Amino acid sequence: MYSNSLIELDRAHLIHPVASYRGHEKLGVRVLASAKGATVTDASGRQLIDGFAGLWCVNAGYGQETIVEAAAKQMRELSYATAYFGLGSEPAIRLASELAERAPGNLNHVYFTLGGSDAVDSTIRFIRYYWTARGEPQRDQFISVEQGYHGSSTVGAGLTALPAFHTGFGIPFDWQHKIPSHYAYRNPVGDDPQAIIAASLTALRRKVEEIGPERVAAFYAEPIQGSGGVLVPPRGWMKAMRELCRDLGILFVADEVITGFGRTGPLFASTENEIVPDFITTAKGLTSGYVPMGAVFMADHIYQTIADGAGASAVGHGYTYSAHPVSAAVGLEVLRLYENGLLENGVKAGARLMEGLGSLRDHPLVGDVRGRGMLAAIELVVDKAQKTPLPAAAEPARRIFDRAWENGLVIRAFANGVLGYAPPLCCSETEIDAIIERTRQSLDETLEDPDVR
C-alpha cells in the first residue's frame, strides 16, 4: 500500500527527471510496485494498462520470464566485462553482430552506450572525429529539427529543440542550428505532404547556405518526432532529407531511440523509410527497458575513416559500462522475442490502436489523431475549427493524466494538451480496446471540467 513515509522520503531525497521540483513536492510521488505484461500495479494496488510502455521503452512488456532468466544467467556467469583494453564478452559480440545483420545497408559497426542521450552524444564525438580525420575539422556545425528530441546530455540537449531542456542551462551552443518541423497539424505551409517535404528541403538547403556549406557536419532527424508530440512526417520526408544530405555532402543521423525495435512495425523505421543513414542511434526497445543500454550504428565508410585517422592511437571515447554483458544478454533475448511473434503482434495491435484512436476523432476535444504502429498521439483542442489549444493555465496535461490514471490507464500527457501512446507490443486486442475506452471516458470527464474549456 501507499506508504506516507515513502512519499516523504521521496520528497526529501529523490530528484525526479524533467519535473517541476516544487510541483512534485506538492503533489508527492506515485509509487509503482509491480508489473506484468502491459499492466502496472501501483503501491495502493490499483492496476493500470501502461499505454506508454514506461517511457516508450518496455516494448516486450513487463516481467517476461525469459528475459529475467537471460539476465540472471549472465549475472551468474560473467556479471561484468569491460570492452576497454581489447577485452570483450560473448553476448556483446553476438548482439553487435546480430544487430548489424539486421540494420539497413552498410551500418555494420555497433557502439554500445547506456541509453539514448549518450548514443546521440557519441555520434557528435564520432562525427567530429570523422571530419577531422577527413582533413575537414572546420565541419563543426550541426543541424536538427524544431520540436525534435535528441536527449539530455550537455551537448545533445542542444540538438534537442524543446525549450525546457535549454532554459537556464546556457544551451543550445552557437554551433547547433534548427530548421522548422514538418508538424502537419500546425504547419504554416498547410498539411499537403508534398508542400511539407518541399518546405523542409528548402529550409535545410537555406540553413546550410547560411552557415556555410563547408562548415556543416551533420543533420539529425527522428523518423517520427516523439517527445515533440509524436509528429509524423509525410511518407517520403526522411528519404528526401537523407538524399539532400548526401547531395550537400553532410552526414545524416537517424535518431531511432523511440522508433527502433518495432515501435512503428519493423526493427528499424529507417528500413520502412527506405533509407540508409550514416548513423542510427537506438536505446529503449533494444533492451525493452529491463536494463539500460543504447547503441550507435555506424556505416562502414565512417568506421574506416575513423580507424585510419586514429592509426595506432586510441579513439578516446568510452564508458565503463559500454557493451555491458548483462545488458547485451538481455538485448539478445529481447531480439529473439521480437522475431518470435512480438513484432508481428505489435503490427496487429498497432493497426487496432490507430483505428481505435481514429474513432475518437468525433470527440469534441480531439483536434488531430496521428501515429504509425504502436506510436501515436491525439491533440486536444477546445475549438476544432480554430485549432485552439486547451488553456495552459488549467494544466490540462496534468488533469488528463490524473483522470486517465483514475480510469486505469497510463498515458503520456504533453504540456500542450497532446496525449501520447506507445503501448507494449505484446498488448492484446482487449487491452488496446481498453486503452481506447479509458481514453474516451477520460476525455468525456475532461469535457465536463469547466476549467479546461
Binding site for ligand PMP (CB under 6 A): 115-117, 120, 149-151, 222, 226-227, 255, 257-258, 283
Kindly state the smallest distance separating residue 114's Cβ from ligand PMP, in Å: 8
C-alpha cell at 39: 499492466
Please say which residue, 151 or 424, places its beta carbon nearer to ligand PMP.
Answer: 151
Please say which residue, 129 or 149, places its beta carbon nearer to ligand PMP.
Answer: 149
Asked if residue 417 lies in contact with residue 390, where contact means CB atoms within 8 angstroms, the answer is: yes
Q: Which amino acid is at 416?
A: N
Kindly state the smallest distance separating residue 255's Cβ from ligand PMP, in Å: 4
Please say which residue, 104 or 356, places its beta carbon nearer to ligand PMP.
Answer: 104
Please say which residue, 92 or 257, places its beta carbon nearer to ligand PMP.
Answer: 257
Kindly state the smallest distance separating residue 429's Cβ from ligand PMP, in Å: 27
Phi then psi for 174, rounded to 5 degrees? -70, -5
The count of residues in the chain is 453
Q: What is the DSSP letter of 391?
A: P
Please say which residue, 377 or 381, places its beta carbon nearer to ligand PMP.
Answer: 377
Q: Tell me the sheet residues that pair with 252.
A: 219
Kindly state the smallest distance separating residue 116's Cβ from ligand PMP, in Å: 2
Closest-approach residue to ligand PMP (CB): 116
Can you say whether the dihedral through the CA atoms of 330, 336, 338, 340 is positive or negative? negative
C-alpha cell at 13: 531525497
Cell 548482439 belongs to which residue? 95
Please say which residue, 37 or 116, places its beta carbon nearer to ligand PMP.
Answer: 116
Cell 529550409 belongs to which residue? 203
Residue 172, preceding peptide bond in cis (omega within 30° of 0): yes
Please say which residue, 117 or 264, places its beta carbon nearer to ligand PMP.
Answer: 117
Kindly state the smallest distance separating residue 27's Cβ from ligand PMP, in Å: 23
Kindly state the smallest distance separating residue 113's Cβ from ligand PMP, in Å: 9
Burial of 219 (C-beta count, 10 Å sphere; 0-12/13-18/19+): buried
Helices (H), 48-89: 53-56, 65-77
Kindly state the smallest distance separating residue 223's Cβ from ligand PMP, in Å: 9
Q: What is the DSSP letter of 173?
A: -
Kindly state the smallest distance separating residue 254's Cβ from ligand PMP, in Å: 10
3-state secondary structure 104-162: CCCCCEEEEECCHHHHHHHHHHHHHHHHHHCCCCCCCEEEEECCCCCCCCCCHHHHCCC
CA pair distance 334, 221, nearest whole angstrom? 26
Please say which residue, 295 or 452, places its beta carbon nearer to ligand PMP.
Answer: 295
Q: Tell me the sheet residues that pair with 255.
A: 281
